[in-house]
Structure 1
Amino acid sequence: MRFPTNWLWTIVFLLLILPWLALIGLGIFWLWQHHYLVTGFITLASFYGAATLLNHWLKHRQIEPFQLPDVQADQRWSPAAETVWAEIDKMADEVNPADYPLTDSARLLLLAQQVIRKVARHFRPKAGKAELDIPLRNILFITEQVSRDMRQLLDERIPFSHLLTIDEGLKLWKWKQRLEKGHFIYRMGRMLLSPATAIPAELSGFFQGKVAQYPKGLLEQWLLRTLIKKTGYYAIALYSGQLAPPVLAESGPQPESAPETKQPLRILVAGQLKAGKSSLINALLGELRAATNVLPLTDELTVYKLAQDDSSELLIFDSPGYGDKIHWFEKEPERALGGFDLVLLVCSATQAGREADAQFLTDLRNWFDQRLHRSMPPVLAIVTHIDQLRPLREWQPPYDVQAPQNEKACNIRDALETVSEALHIAMSDCIPISLQTTGGVYNIDAIWAALADKWPESKRAQYLRCLPEGRSKEKLRLIWMQMANLIRI
């Protein structure tokens, strides 16, 4: 006589659970025999009560159990890289472990190829086979880096992963599938023996989304997500030019990120004629001003260098004032508009026309919209001549423009709102100042505070601006080394 497979698994389950049930029964009998039964139940109830309260507190604070690490995007990535990363992230969320078993290396390789193809077609849209438009060493580098990161994650997050062999892992995987069947039998048995408690538990698991996790498994889903996002991360870094494979050396290869630029941060001061650009630069530089011809972008730009102690240098570019019909940057738009990491747009509070300023910002935004591998520098609107607003004879700073208390403060607030609306710049990025010579400058400290706040965005713009130059130097260095080795051979 041959028993059905389900009955055989039921016998296995009973053989595993009966010793534990017997141990529980013997323990209760021992507690009753030594008059510790009440004390034991009170202690057990106390532990379960504390666990229940802690569980409710964790759920209230939205602290999830077993948080596994996720792969994050690089904050220095360009808008083009961020766009394809969003697609990779969506692909990782939608992957089904049933379609890509961890034991099927061919399917996993196909998954990685799909990720690389998606990234390649995004950065090389005109190439017939974009995934082939990359050096072979770069593909090998992606494989190397993903393998290294996955190994590190396994060592840190998966218990005994450094002890299990592949054969043992395959056997455990088969047992895992069998135990899932045993768990299903247990759930069915609980439904038959105690439907009053089993049905609410099943419904609770269903509505909390736990049933949906049974077919795919938390660990399998995390491993596949990590594989997809790690592959996408390094593919984006390579195709965008922000990462290069290391050059072999005697000390062994080391991953080489994009070289940090040693160029100073570039700040452009732009604005209409007589808006107060030169006075602003004098106020910013003070005694540290030193005229220089370092890296001029055009003949019409005057460059000033600001260096204080051991901090990095700043180059401040004073540009000619533009009118409604004449713009200095039209002569060399390819170099001029994309050559800065932060823009101070000087707007006089007494000038009514904003068309020239709006045209300048429109040209600047269009330039970067057409070059998604670059990041547009942050723009601060510096509203000058606020001391000349009505009432003309009143000038008793400071003025609170957030909650104006008098007519002067209200007029300053109105001027800021006008500039913000006309130029599509946030009110928080519009800074009112006075540069009059008799009463001294006012609110320059607010500009320095705003520059510090925009520092991360400026560094990102600088990083992407200098990236092609750094990569060109790296390519020349590698070619020189290869030619030197060829000559030796």
Structure 2
Amino acid sequence: MKKTALLIVLFVLVLLPWLALLILGGIWLWQQHYLLIAAPILLSSYGIAWILSQKLQQDEPLPPTLPSIDPDDRWSPAAKEIWDKIDALAKELNPADYPLTDAARLAALAKRVVTEVATHFKPEAGRAELDVPLRNILFIVEQVCRDMRELLDEKVPFSHLITVQDGLQVWQWKEKFKQFNYLRRTLAMAASPFTAIPNELSHFFTGKLTDYPKGLLERWLLQALVKKIGYYAIALYSGHFPPSAISTIETEQEENALAKRPLRVLIAGQAKAGKSSLINGLLGEFRTTVDVLPVADQLRLYKLQQPDMGDVLLYDSPGYSENDFWFQKNDRQLGDFDLVIVVCSAMQAGREADVRFLSELRNWFGVHLERRMPPVLVVVSHIDRLRPFREWDPPYDIENPDNGKARNIREAVETVAHSLQVAREDCVPVCLSTPAACYNIEAVLACMVNKLPDSMRTQYLRTLSEGQRKEKIMLLLGQLGIRRGQA
């Protein structure tokens, strides 16, 4: 504290003589009638100093706002992983190493991006970038060129009028003109400071909006080019975006058919947890005709329609135990569903079988990174049997419990959520004693609807391979001169 006070005293002692000199000098100039002559000279000196300081600093303005180039939210985890690497590569590029006028270097950069993407998806291939049809490579070139043209039209003024040669000449003259401009402003400030000062203020504010250095513009375009190449390379090598040779009308018909495919919902749980009762409750809530279709491996399929979700297929699976799981004969069945509902009894203390089931599910999708794990909901059944046993007077507010029954329901839900490592809001307490006395089924339906976007993304990746096979067949038929109606 003492040291700070001494520094302040020292600063005041150094500053006081200069302040006194400034005040006394101003008074003398005013008395001698020299103030109006001295003021322009002083302002001119400080103005010139300001211009020179600008030349030394030359703060670069921000580049134009780059249109958002983001990954497709339907992409698989493997696709998003390599996208992050391409995005990091784009940010680290130096425009001096890849001039936009050097086609050879840009081609090498494009090959680097494509090779890195291809190797990521096909690490076992010797030259993974070649393990793709030639038409796909041409498709990448076509799409990138189209997008870059649109980018230039939207973000670079006069890009549709100025030729490449004109643009290079403008950039060469820009630096020379900048040096001349500094000289002009300095002379103007010395000749007439009162006139030059407003012009300098105007230049300060407008220059921040119009003076985009060549280096920043080059970096902006280079990053956009790399991201576009990476985007389409990921889409193609991961199988998300096969170039279709089918007509636009037929392609739209295929996309509409894909959007109308029913969601597959797996109802899983231990024996006597209430799976069948949950399905009966949902069917009663939907008020629709039900078809029961037998399927392989002991699964039962219920076909129904729901207004907010369209067609829905409910798969009722056999009850599992800690050492007996119906899907062990064919683990691919774990990837056949777009939403998984696990039914857990609030009266059953053992959760090991449920934990193992979800662990197997997560492990399967951890290996198959080209797929997306479906969202998981947990239905906590038999809440009417919790203490106090004879009390059952729904509805119950478990968010703000005001009695013992509600508190016990909340505790059971939180215990299940913690054991199965799922979010608390994804656990729904229900009563399934009889179809007429079902409680909170509408909450299950609401959660299913909330998970619909994630379920649709899961369905997209699940059905992608089927669409690719169909696209290849249709293309082959077209090449052989066989129309779609004749096949």
**2:239 aligns to what?**
241
How far residue 439 of structure 1 moved from its aligned partner, in angstroms, is 7.1
Matching of residue 476 in structure 1 with residue 462 in structure 2: no
**1:35 aligns to what?**
none
Equivalences, count: 403
**2:414 aligns to what?**
417
Equivalent of 2:376, from 354, 375, 379? 379
How far residue 250 of structure 1 moved from its aligned partner, in angstroms, is 11
How far residue 160 of structure 1 moved from its aligned partner, in angstroms, is 1.2
CA–CA separation in structure 1 for the residues paired with 2:119 and 2:257:
25
- Residue pairs, 1:371-450, within 5 angstroms: 371-437=368-434, 440-450=437-447
- Residue pairs, 1:14-93, within 5 angstroms: 66-93=64-91
**1:293 aligns to what?**
293
AA in 2 matched with 1:380 = L
How far residue 234 of structure 1 moved from its aligned partner, in angstroms, is 0.5
Equivalent of 2:339, from 332, 338, 342? 342
How far residue 116 of structure 1 moved from its aligned partner, in angstroms, is 0.8
Helix, strand or coil for the counterpart of 2:83? helix
* Gaps in structure 1 of 5+ consecutive residues: 1-63, 195-204
AA in 1 matched with 2:66 = L
How far residue 260 of structure 1 moved from its aligned partner, in angstroms, is 3.2
CA–CA separation in structure 1 for the residues paired with 2:409 and 2:247:
62
How far residue 151 of structure 1 moved from its aligned partner, in angstroms, is 0.6
Helix, strand or coil for the counterpart of 2:372? coil
Larger Rg, first or second structure (1 or 2):
2
AA in 2 matched with 1:322 = Y
After superposition, the C-alpha distances for 1:211-240 in whole angstroms (9 at most, x for unaligned) are: xx9877332222111101111111011111
CA–CA separation in structure 2 for the residues paired with 1:412 and 1:310:
29
More helix per residue: 2
After superposition, the C-alpha distances for 1:225-261 in whole angstroms (9 at most, x for unaligned) are: 110111111101111111122327699x99x989835
Matching of residue 103 in structure 1 with residue 101 in structure 2: yes
Q: Against the structure 1 CA distance between its residues 349 and 179, is the aligned structure 2 distance closer, same or farther, given a 3 Å change threshold?
A: farther
* Gaps in structure 2 of 5+ consecutive residues: 1-61, 194-203, 483-487
How far residue 456 of structure 1 moved from its aligned partner, in angstroms, is 0.7
CA–CA separation in structure 2 for the residues paired with 1:109 and 1:406:
71
- Residue pairs, 1:102-181, within 5 angstroms: 102-179=100-177
CA–CA separation in structure 1 for the residues paired with 2:246 and 2:289:
45
Helix, strand or coil for the counterpart of 1:243? coil
**Contact 1:269-1:277 at 8 Å conserved across structures:** yes
How far residue 68 of structure 1 moved from its aligned partner, in angstroms, is 2.8
Equivalent of 1:465, from 462, 465, 478? 462
Helix, strand or coil for the counterpart of 1:292? strand
CA–CA separation in structure 2 for the residues paired with 1:180 and 1:129:
49
How far residue 266 of structure 1 moved from its aligned partner, in angstroms, is 0.1
Helix, strand or coil for the counterpart of 2:318? coil
Q: Against the structure 1 CA distance between its residues 350 and 108, is the aligned structure 2 distance closer, same or farther, given a 3 Å change threshold?
A: same
**1:268 aligns to what?**
266
**Contact 2:346-2:381 at 8 Å conserved across structures:** yes
Q: Against the structure 1 CA distance between its residues 238 and 426, is the aligned structure 2 distance closer, same or farther, given a 3 Å change threshold?
A: same
Q: Against the structure 1 CA distance between its residues 341 and 349, is the aligned structure 2 distance closer, same or farther, given a 3 Å change threshold?
A: same
CA–CA separation in structure 1 for the residues paired with 2:242 and 2:236:
6
After superposition, the C-alpha distances for 1:310-330 in whole angstroms (9 at most, x for unaligned) are: 963110000111122211111
**Contact 1:243-1:257 at 8 Å conserved across structures:** no
CA–CA separation in structure 1 for the residues paired with 2:118 and 2:234:
8
TM-score of the superposition, structure 2-length normalised? Answer: 0.76
After superposition, the C-alpha distances for 1:426-472 in whole angstroms (9 at most, x for unaligned) are: 11111111112297111111111111111111000000000001100
Helix, strand or coil for the counterpart of 1:344? strand
CA–CA separation in structure 1 for the residues paired with 2:169 and 2:185:
24
How far residue 357 of structure 1 moved from its aligned partner, in angstroms, is 0.4
CA–CA separation in structure 2 for the residues paired with 1:235 and 1:367:
26
**1:221 aligns to what?**
219
CA–CA separation in structure 1 for the residues paired with 2:480 and 2:447:
49
After superposition, the C-alpha distances for 1:252-276 in whole angstroms (9 at most, x for unaligned) are: x99x989835431000000000000
**1:363 aligns to what?**
360
**2:326 aligns to what?**
328
Helix, strand or coil for the counterpart of 2:110? helix
CA–CA separation in structure 2 for the residues paired with 1:222 and 1:388:
64
Q: Which is worse superposed, 430-439 or 304-313?
A: 304-313
Helix, strand or coil for the counterpart of 1:116? helix
**Contact 1:103-1:170 at 8 Å conserved across structures:** no
**Contact 2:64-2:155 at 8 Å conserved across structures:** no
CA–CA separation in structure 2 for the residues paired with 1:433 and 1:443:
5
**Contact 2:379-2:427 at 8 Å conserved across structures:** yes
CA–CA separation in structure 2 for the residues paired with 1:139 and 1:455:
34
Q: Against the structure 1 CA distance between its residues 258 and 135, is the aligned structure 2 distance closer, same or farther, given a 3 Å change threshold?
A: farther
Q: Against the structure 1 CA distance between its residues 439 and 266, is the aligned structure 2 distance closer, same or farther, given a 3 Å change threshold?
A: closer
CA–CA separation in structure 2 for the residues paired with 1:98 and 1:386:
68
Q: Which is worse superposed, 371-380 or 234-243?
A: 234-243
Percentage of identical aligned residues: 55
Q: Against the structure 1 CA distance between its residues 325 and 250, is the aligned structure 2 distance closer, same or farther, given a 3 Å change threshold?
A: closer
Q: Against the structure 1 CA distance between its residues 187 and 377, is the aligned structure 2 distance closer, same or farther, given a 3 Å change threshold?
A: farther
* CA-atom RMSD in angstroms: 3.2
CA–CA separation in structure 1 for the residues paired with 2:248 and 2:394:
65
After superposition, the C-alpha distances for 1:2-21 in whole angstroms (9 at most, x for unaligned) are: xxxxxxxxxxxxxxxxxxxx
**2:27 aligns to what?**
none
CA–CA separation in structure 2 for the residues paired with 1:309 and 1:380:
20
Helix, strand or coil for the counterpart of 1:350? coil
